[in-house]
Amino acid sequence: MDKILTVQHEALAAIENAADLETLNNVRIQYLGKKGSIQALMSEMKSLPKEEKPAFGQKVNVCKQEVTEALEARQAVLQEGALAEQLVREKIDITLPGDVKELGTTHPLLMIQQELEDLFLGMGYKVAEGPEVEQDYYNFELANIPKDHPARDMQDTFYIDPNTLLRTHTTAMQMRELEKAEGKTPIKLICPGKVYRRDDDDATHSHQFMQCEGLVVGEHITLADLKGTLEFMANRMFGEGRTIRFRPSYFPFTEPSVEVDVSCPFCNGKGCSVCKGSGWIEILGAGMVHPHVLEMNGFDPEKCTGFAFGVGLERVAMLKYGIDDIRNFYTNDARFLKMFDRFD
């Protein structure tokens, strides 16, 4: 009987002293396991005289129950401690400022391009594309600017080899589209894109800039159609109430050729610093497609006519948003670009 009490005291002390769950589990095995001390006491019962067996058995059971209960209680305490320790160890400081990912904004030139595309798609035009590295043939020859023609000097060109260049105007795409149509009308399209010229960069010149070409070919297309179309465009781009005027000009690929002014959106035509007192601002070049250009591209100029125009997107954006230096579009200063955030 004393032995039982000794085992019981030893077990309870070991449980109390177990500092972690692993030690506690070893104590369980030592006392309650199949080969443990309490099981050993049970085996000893066989050798006792019959009359002593019940009292001894009862005492061992009490011992076993007390040890089991003490183990469970100690386990609960240790588990709680382990959790608390883990929480401290894995603590995250949620007050640290987050890693903010800034969203980009639409580039102002892309905004103008998309506005023009929407406007002309709404009038049934197609949007065409073409290569920036272009053949001399499409950029000049088909546009009625043969080699040695003085008009080649109007556009200083980046040549890659004698027949290959960076296109100097979107008119190159106009020529590709005319050729592709194989003499079939109607044609109604715009071609926006980048163009390149060997200019020295300053506030109003950039060696890379953007244009949008417009082309309509069909029967009975007149200068009046051109004027109506451009007036509609001017009103959509610069606000209602704009008027336009044509001034005679020269382009090798159009006859007649015109330079187009829009009534100044800043002073309503009265005269201000932006329009230099004239009330008008030049925005684009245009004209009726030259009969020779139509012919070279397989159209019969007796049967069909066409108008064309080419507008510079930087110029439109600068007027629309009051930007005074073209280089702003290409230096990619985020403070400048952020001003055009449509979602602000």
For residue 42 the two structure tokens come to: 């049970």
The residues in 157-176 that bind ligand DAH, with binding defined as CB under 6 A, are: 169, 171, 174
Question: Residue 285 interacts with ligand DAH (CB under 6 A)?
Answer: yes
Question: Residue 192 interacts with ligand DAH (CB under 6 A)?
Answer: no
Question: Residue 193 interacts with ligand DAH (CB under 6 A)?
Answer: no
- What's the min distance (Å) between Cβ of 257 and ligand DAH? 6
Question: Residue 314 interacts with ligand DAH (CB under 6 A)?
Answer: no
Interface with ligand DAH (CB under 6 A), residue from 125, 140, 309, 329: 309
| Residue 90: exposure state from Cβ atoms within 10 A (0-12, 13-18, ≥19) | exposed
Q: Which is nearer to ligand DAH, 56 or 251 (CB)?
A: 251
Question: Residue 242 interacts with ligand DAH (CB under 6 A)?
Answer: no
Question: Residue 229 interacts with ligand DAH (CB under 6 A)?
Answer: no
Query: 103 φ, ψ to 5°?
Result: -85, 145
Contact region with ligand DAH (CB under 6 A), list: 80-88, 182-190, 264-272, 285-293: 285-293
- What's the min distance (Å) between Cβ of 113 and ligand DAH? 16
Question: Residue 287 interacts with ligand DAH (CB under 6 A)?
Answer: yes
Question: Residue 306 interacts with ligand DAH (CB under 6 A)?
Answer: no
Interface with ligand DAH (CB under 6 A), residue from 166, 310, 316, 329: 310
Interface with ligand DAH (CB under 6 A), residue from 144, 254, 305, 328: 254
Question: Residue 213 interacts with ligand DAH (CB under 6 A)?
Answer: yes
Contacts with ligand DAH by CB under 6 A: the residue count is: 12
CA distances from 191 to 70, 187, 219 (A): 87, 12, 21
Site string for ligand DAH, 100-139 (x = CB under 6 A): ----------------------------------------
Contacting residues toward ligand DAH, per CB under 6 A = 169, 171, 174, 213, 251, 254, 285-287, 308-310
